[in-house]
Structure 1
Amino acid sequence: MYNDSFGNSLKRGYLGLPVAIRTIITINVVVFLLQILGANDLFISTMAFNPDLPTAVIQPWRLVTYMFLHAGGFHLIFNMLWLWWMGRSVEQTLGPRTFCVIYFGSGIGGALLDIAFAQFVGINLVIGASGAVFGVMVAFAMLFPRMPIMLFLLPPIEARYVVAGLIALDLLFLGSSDNTARIVHLGGAGIGYLLMRYQQQGIDLSALVRPIENFWYNLRGAYKKKKSTRKSSNLRSVSDVEIVEESDQSELDEILEKISKKGYDGLTKEEKRKLFELSKKN
């Protein structure tokens, strides 16, 4: 173990990340590499968020795609470090579906708030994951308010004060000419707070993701069945088994997410029985 190569250690650390954070970081890094390899102008013109109201209505995909673009290496690194640092505990506590609702909901909410303010302060293209990351940081501070955070050259500071301080800095420099989308940061933080409040009140945020997830599974299942018609009957039975296994995994994920929120005693008798059966299969 001690003689393991740096590459293997890096690979293990990457694969050990929660699935949603690992996917988001991977997409951000890949898109940034494409930006520096020559696609930056194309990406900015088609994927950056434009707070001009008609453009936002006609090109709604920009509400999401702008989160995967960054203005430079430090912009990317700091966003991904904060996401990795605080987001892991949030995803592990709430589950990947709820985490995605908070992350993308905060990013979209920050962009929508920017539309309202841009009509008065001017139209500027927005890129970066900061709004979404601010929402995740607020969620972390609400889940672990007294968690000590180590910042450079500073003593340990509780998470609630660190996050509140970052929000206060954005408020303090609101309107400055440093090309930082502070309205998006504040909007993301506000939406992150509201979504966490809903979650703490018992509203299942993950329910917003399930229709998309089911559509994806149905799409994959239809594709597998279409491919299986070109194979022998024996191979077709293997494809059917794969679909059943995916369904079992989805059901297992739902039960585990419920345990993370309500504990094992929060499961129904049927869910406990299903968990026991699925654990034997795995």
Structure 2
Amino acid sequence: MMNFGIVLIIITVLISYRGFTNAFFFDNYKFEVDKILIDKDYKRLITAGFLHVNWMHLIFNMLSLYFFARILIAQLGTFHFLLIYFAGLLGGNLLALLIHKHNGDYCAVGASGAVIGIIFASIGLFPQYGIGFIGLPFSIPSWLFGILYIAYTIYGIKSDKDTIAHEAHLGGALVGMLIAIVIRPSAVIENFVPIMAITIPTIVFIFLIITKPQLLFINTRFYKPQTTNYTEDDKYNTAKINKQKELNRLLDKISNKGIESLSQKEKEKLEEYSK
């Protein structure tokens, strides 16, 4: 495998390990909506991609990157590989930011958007490439994997039944494939049907997220709103802890930079939390 791919994996593993062992470091670099939109801490859109929740999360992403990066670098070169990787990471996190812009305490970490960008760039260029699964004696063409993955991701965003950042996957996949097509336009002619089968539903779904988000939470026989196991006490205590943490953050900011450093939204929060 190429040197830059290995270097990227090593850097990600080292930074993720630091996040595993240092909660302050993890909190300072993770994706968090209010820290990005209110504090304008835009570095989190990138740094979150070098953190992971646990070893399994990290190993899965790095193994996927290892196998697909070899294909892409051999065909497009290191520069275009890095371009797709970081564009997929940024595109995935920007879509997550758009979807969760009213959910200020939403957090996420992981290189999934970037890795999925690499995978779908490979699919756009080589739709007949076989993708195998550990433990299974057969492989499927990458174009079929792409369609199934997009369908699963759309369902995951709609149902919200797990902690996976599906929207980052969706954004990364679309960005990765589109950039690969821009780099090699002949792929559109050569692989028109599989590319359209993946990109059209993805674009339509993103359009619906932006313009008609209420459609994602309709109670139908195919989808029921998620129920949680939290008791009312759990909800109260969690809200109380989050409120205190936010109040402490605002007070620290005032102490360090003065009250004029607060945005209007932060001043309103401070007034509300101080009552």
Which of 61, 65, 79 does residue 83 from structure 1 map onto?
65
- Secondary structure of the residue that 1:52 maps to in structure 2? helix
1:109/1:187 contact within 8 Å kept: yes
Q: Which residue of structure 2 lines up, in the alignment, with residue 172 of structure 1?
A: 155
Structure 2 CA distance for partners of 1:155 and 1:112, relative to 1, 3 Å: same
**TM-score (normalizing by structure 1):** 0.61
Q: What is the percentage of aligned positions where both structures have the same residue?
A: 31
Residue 115 (structure 1) aligned with residue 97 (structure 2): yes
1:158: how far off? 0.5
CA distance in 1, matches of 2:175, 2:2: 22
1:161: how far off? 1.2
- Equivalences for 1:91-170 in 2 at 5 Å? 91-120=73-102, 123-151=105-133, 152-153=135-136, 155-170=138-153
CA distance in 1, matches of 2:38, 2:94: 9
CA distance in 1, matches of 2:16, 2:76: 28
2:123/2:146 contact within 8 Å kept: yes
1:52/1:115 contact within 8 Å kept: no
1:77: how far off? 0.8
Which of 59, 72, 76 does residue 54 from structure 2 map onto?
72
Alignment gaps of 5+ in structure 2: 187-275
Q: Which residue of structure 2 lines up, in the alignment, with residue 241 of structure 1?
A: none
- Equivalences for 1:242-281 in 2 at 5 Å? none
CA distance in 2, matches of 1:116, 1:56: 14
- Count residues with an aligned counterpart: 184
CA distance in 2, matches of 1:35, 1:194: 32
Q: Which residue of structure 1 lines up, in the alignment, with residue 189 of structure 2?
A: none
1:54: how far off? 5.0
For 2:146, the aligned partner's letter is V
1:171: how far off? 1.1
Residue 198 (structure 1) aligned with residue 188 (structure 2): no
- Choose 1 or 2 for highest CA Rg: 1
- Secondary structure of the residue that 2:160 maps to in structure 1? coil
2:123/2:142 contact within 8 Å kept: yes
- Secondary structure of the residue that 1:183 maps to in structure 2? helix
1:102: how far off? 0.2
1:146/1:160 contact within 8 Å kept: yes
